[in-house]
Structures are given as C-alpha cells and as structure tokens.
Amino acid sequence: MKKEIKKTAQERQDEIFRKMSADRKIELGSQLWKLAKILVGNKINYGRERSKTSFGRSH
C-alpha cells in the first residue's frame, strides 16, 4: 500500500502558481487588485497623500 502524503493548502497553492504562466499571474493579480478596490476602495490610499505607516516600518 502506498502511503498518501497530504499537502497543506499553501503547498497546493504554490503548486498551482508554479505551473501558471507569467501572463496569467499578472492577470490574476490585476483581478485581485480590482476586487480589493471594490471591497475596500476607501481604504486603498496611494499617491502623495499616503501616511508614513503605509510605507512600512520607520528605521
């Protein structure tokens, strides 16, 4: 009997993305950004008026 190796959700996701073309990854990223903009567009802040915290940690 073969022992079944269970994959984590992260391992499955990594496998899917590894097989995906670069063009498809870009398209998917674009679609996810559009979805985020629809869901929480008022929280997406970009441009010159960004807060210091949106740039990451201060050193």
In this model, does residue 55 exceed pLDDT 70?
Answer: no
pLDDT digits (tens, 9 = 90+) for 31-52: 998 998 888 877 776 666 666 6
Gap between the Cα atoms of 55 and 48, Å rounded: 11
Q: What percent of the chain has pLDDT over 70?
A: 71
Computed on alpha carbons and rounded to an integer, the radius of gyration of the chain in Å comes to 18
Q: Hey, what are 1's tokens?
A: 């009997």
Buried b (16+ CB within 10 A) or exposed e, 28-52: eeeeeeeeeeeeeeeeeeeeeeeee
Query: What is the model's pTM?
Result: 0.53
